[in-house]
Amino acid sequence: MSNRPEGAAVQQDVPALSFPPGIAYMDGAFVPISEAKISVLDWGLLRSDATYDVVHVWQGRFFRLDKHLDRFLSSVGKLRMTLPLERDALARVLAGCVTRSGMENAYVEMICTRGVSPTFSRDPRDAINRFIAFAIPFGWIADEEQRRRGLDVAIARDVERISPRSVDPTVKNYHWLDLVAGLFEAYERKAENVMLTDGAGNVTEGPGFNIFALTGGRVITPDIGVLEGITRGAAIDLCAELAMPVDIAPLPVATLKAAEEVFITSTAGGIMPVTRIDAAAVADGKPGAFTARLAELYWAKHQDPTWSTAVEDLLA
């Protein structure tokens, strides 16, 4: 006699999950990434009530770690959460994940979720916040070919970016349903990635990246409805080094499409060219000289001690 409830579906065999190499930190201990799990009752899962930040390690050095820590701690405070670690201890945990993973190039994430209420209360003040960190291999928004010849993106028509009056985009979050819907629209249009607008004719950002346009001897990057990306900030600083003016201002779709060069910025890949938008070439359809120069300078800064920190120094 079966103990299966009447009308229940027969469970099918499901392939075992595979995980990338990596190390996580949870509940005060370092564990293999495959053992890092949260409760199904965590508000981070049930409500997307969480914040996070991602810093990368390249050739054994954290890039702009202090700026990532500043943003993460600011986000935690804005969401009225608390961490069990002070700033220096947090940095050591991140370094510990990297050293235990044995990776020279890594994607290192820190997360704070609202956590679980012991009584499953619906009052977020009752939840016990949870801190998680992990290191996995460095990942890219664009593959090697796309970075070489430039990305082909679509501007979403059917979905707009969540209003900054609804969800503060300066708090890095997992509210990605608008971005995911935009991705599916882009794929259906045979594009490789997507940019979302604010509904008023201006581009905002894409899934995990900020947007820049070089036009009329100036660079423009959107000012509203975007995460203040750390790589975005690096690109702005590098433009200053190259004596290129930057306007943080509305970026109309028409201006973007008519630009001399377009590029995106992300921790997951740095500074990357865009050469097609809505199936039309940007300028001559090739990565621009300024974008290439900026990207070269960006990667060179990874060995500059004023821009990067050796992982081992955090554990000394």
The C-alpha torsion from 191 through 233 and 149 to 224, rounded to 10°, is 30
Domains along the chain? 23-137 (3.30.470.10), 144-302 (3.20.10.10)
Per DSSP, the three-state class of 40 is coil
Residue 31: pLDDT band (50, 70, 90) is very high
Q: Whole-angstrom Cα distance, residue 296 to residue 271?
A: 9
Q: Whole-angstrom Cα distance, residue 43 to residue 291?
A: 41
Residue 17: pLDDT band (50, 70, 90) is confident
| pLDDT mean over 60-65 | 98
| 289-296 long-range contacts, CB within 8 A, separation 24+ | 289/261, 290/214, 290/242, 290/244, 290/261, 291/214, 291/261, 291/263, 293/242, 294/235, 294/238, 294/239, 294/242, 294/263, 295/263, 295/270, 295/271
17 - beta bridge partners? none
Residue 309: per-residue pLDDT? 98
Question: Going by C-beta distance under 8 Å and a sequence separation of 6 or more, which residues neighbour residue 65?
Answer: 55, 91, 94, 308, 309
| pLDDT mean over 224-233 | 96
218 - beta bridge partners? 215
Residue 101: per-residue pLDDT? 97
pLDDT tens across 128-177, in order? 999 999 999 999 999 999 999 999 999 999 999 999 999 999 999 999 99
| pLDDT mean over 214-232 | 96
pLDDT tens across 33-48, in order? 999 999 999 999 999 9
pLDDT tens across 65-100, in order? 999 999 999 999 999 999 999 999 999 999 999 999
| pLDDT mean over 212-232 | 97
Residue 13: per-residue pLDDT? 66
At residue 4, does pLDDT exceed 60? no
At residue 271, does pLDDT exceed 80? yes
Q: Whole-angstrom Cα distance, residue 1 to residue 74?
A: 57
| pLDDT mean over 272-283 | 98
At residue 2, does pLDDT exceed 60? no
Which among 265, 251, 249, 259 has a CA at the least distance from the CA of 280?
A: 259
DSSP state of 82: -
At residue 252, does pLDDT exceed 90? yes
Q: Whole-angstrom Cα distance, residue 96 to residue 314?
A: 9
Share of the chain above pLDDT 70, in %: 95
Per DSSP, the three-state class of 153 is strand
Residue with tokens 């990368």: 56
Q: Whole-angstrom Cα distance, residue 307 to residue 234?
A: 9
At residue 6, does pLDDT exceed 80? no
pTM here is 0.92
The whole-chain average pLDDT of the chain stands at: 95
At residue 1, does pLDDT exceed 50? no
Residue 244: pLDDT band (50, 70, 90) is very high
Which among 131, 97, 107 has a CA at the least distance from the CA of 23?
A: 97
Residue 5: per-residue pLDDT? 54
Task: Compute CA distances 6 → 2, 10, 74, 233, 241, whole Å.
Answer: 9, 11, 50, 58, 69
At residue 10, does pLDDT exceed 90? no
Residue type, 275: T
pLDDT tens across 18-27, in order? 888 999 999 9
Measured on CA atoms in the order 167, 168, 173, 178, is the torsion positive or negative? positive
Per DSSP, the three-state class of 263 is strand
E strand intervals along the chain? 23-26, 29-32, 50-58, 61-63, 106-116, 128-137, 151-155, 193-195, 210-215, 218-221, 246-248, 261-266, 270-277, 280-281, 308-310
DSSP state of 34: G
Residue 53: pLDDT band (50, 70, 90) is very high
At residue 15, does pLDDT exceed 80? no
